[in-house]
Amino acid sequence: MVNTRRIYELSSGHKMPMIGLGTYLLTDKRSIWKIIDEALSAGYRLIDTAAMYGNEEEIGYALKKLLPKHHLTRQDIFLISKLPPTNHGDDALESLNETIRLLQCEYLDLYLIHWPGSSDCDPKDPNNAILRDKSWSKLVEAKQTGLTRDIGVSNYSIRHLEGLLENSYGEKPVVNQIEWHPHCHQDNMKKFCDENGILIQSYFSFGGSEKKLLLSDPTVLNISEKIGKSAPQILLQWSLQQNVAVIPKSSSRQHLHVNIDLDFVIPKNYMEKLSNLPQIRYGSDPNVVA
């Protein structure tokens, strides 16, 4: 059953589920089918993917077949994908059209710039700023023509966001998808996004490729035991209580159901303990991009 209380109204007025299904590293067609089938059954209504994940075609095929099975339509699902760093600039619209073709849908709900830098440039090259500005102008065009209902960014630092907002072509980003968990959270980023109507959506909620460091953290485990919820549930709820959206990935039927069962509250003192854990970034640092 869908938890309607976990719906967020974006600054555009469109509504987005705060809990979604992440699909990073999911590439096997049969596995994707099973996971999406179970996710739809569990109540997930947001699916996050990206051209770089190499699974858009598999997800599109699964949704085309599975939505009718679950008595759903395209309008019931919130689809997110991302512009790859290889297609910054003039190729951005072509990239979005290819994503829509692979996902077998007429539009996206949200299209993000995946990374502030271009694959064609050194991270310190000032051309990165020129190319992402061009990409944003193309995304604005895509929104105006209905290819995507909303546009946003991923892995943008405050500096990158400030640059975008100075020349946004009349469209502010509604989302910044970034690494966010108790081992890596930027309070100044949260404050900036809140002030500018940008929702933070978290990836690596469980700590990324070295996730055991976070899932086995003594503080996380202690709070998990005291509240009677699993460590993943604690980590997801910690984000949600700060109004940060989450997109956990799981190939386990049990975990898919547990990860969306988050109707509990973490007491303030436990929230503070989690927020004061040592800071460790598991993914790439976007601050190196000019």
For 144-174, what is each residue's pLDDT tens digit? 999 999 999 999 999 999 999 999 999 999 9
CATH number at residue 272: 3.20.20.100
**Residues of the chain above pLDDT 70, percent:** 97
Q: In angstroms, rounded to a whole number, what is the distance separating the alpha carbons of residues 94 and 271?
A: 44
The pLDDT confidence band at residue 211, using thresholds 50, 70 and 90, is low
Distance of alpha carbon 137 from alpha carbon 231, whole angstroms = 41
State residue 3's pLDDT score: 46
pLDDT band for position 2 (50/70/90)?
A: very low
Instruction: Tell me how far apart the alpha carbons of residues 18 and 92 are, in angstroms, rounded to a whole number.
Output: 27
Q: Is 240 left (phi over 0), alpha (psi -120 to 50) or beta?
A: alpha
**pLDDT, tens digit (0-9, with 9 covering 90-100), for 230-263:** 999 999 999 999 999 999 998 888 999 999 999 9
Name the catalytic one among 53, 111, 156, 282.
Answer: 53
State pTM to two decimals.
Answer: 0.96
- Is the pLDDT assigned to residue 190 strictly greater than 70? yes
pLDDT of residue 5: 58
Q: Residue 48: which domain range?
A: 4-288
Q: Which has more pLDDT, 212 or 123?
A: 123
Please check if 114 is assigned to a binding site. Answer: yes
53 is catalytic: yes
**Count of domains observed in the chain:** 1
State the pLDDT confidence band at 6, using cuts at 50, 70 and 90.
confident
pLDDT score for 4 = 45
